[in-house]
Amino acid sequence: MQQVLPMIYLWLKAGHIIFVIFWMAGLFALPRYFVYHQEAAAGSAEETVWLDRERKLLKIILTPSIVVVWVLGLALAQTLNVWGAGWLHVKLLLVLGLSGYHGYLAAYHKKLVRGERTLTGKQLRLLNEVPGVAAAIIVIMVVLRPF
């Protein structure tokens, strides 16, 4: 039994990292898709292609990934029993923020489906920086565990 627990931990950790990579790739790609989408003429065939790409990215990659990231991440925290660690609280706060960002992007996609283009290309390019900054801080929290 003592050999099984470390192996379960390693599989949880590997799965968590794999799905974090999938999720982050989607969070980086979607705002960029929105930029290209908004550069296409409203009602054009090109706009339809971008809507389809955005929908597929959300449905096939982003939504399943966020679910698996949360499930495996919480399982890891439980396995390690690190609930009281300050670094984990910061990480969870940032992951919660990224989850909200994910929801915001999904809502913006719905606006684009309705033909509403409320953000500029520059604003979308700036939004694209959010996951990178959050990921950098999360990695520092997990690797260095400063508190």
Are 9 and 79 contacting, i.e. CB atoms less than 8 angstroms apart? yes
Binding residues: 16, 91
Q: Tell me which residue has tokens 């950790």.
A: 13
Annotated binding site for heme: 16, 91
Cα separation, 90 vs 73, whole angstroms = 14
Q: Tell me the two tokens of residue 55.
A: 């929908």
> What residues contact residue 116 under an 8 Å CB cut-off, 6+ apart?
none
Tokens of 17: 């990292």
To the nearest 10 degrees (0 to 180), the angle between helices 4-39 and 63-80 is 150
Q: DSSP assignment, residue 118?
A: -
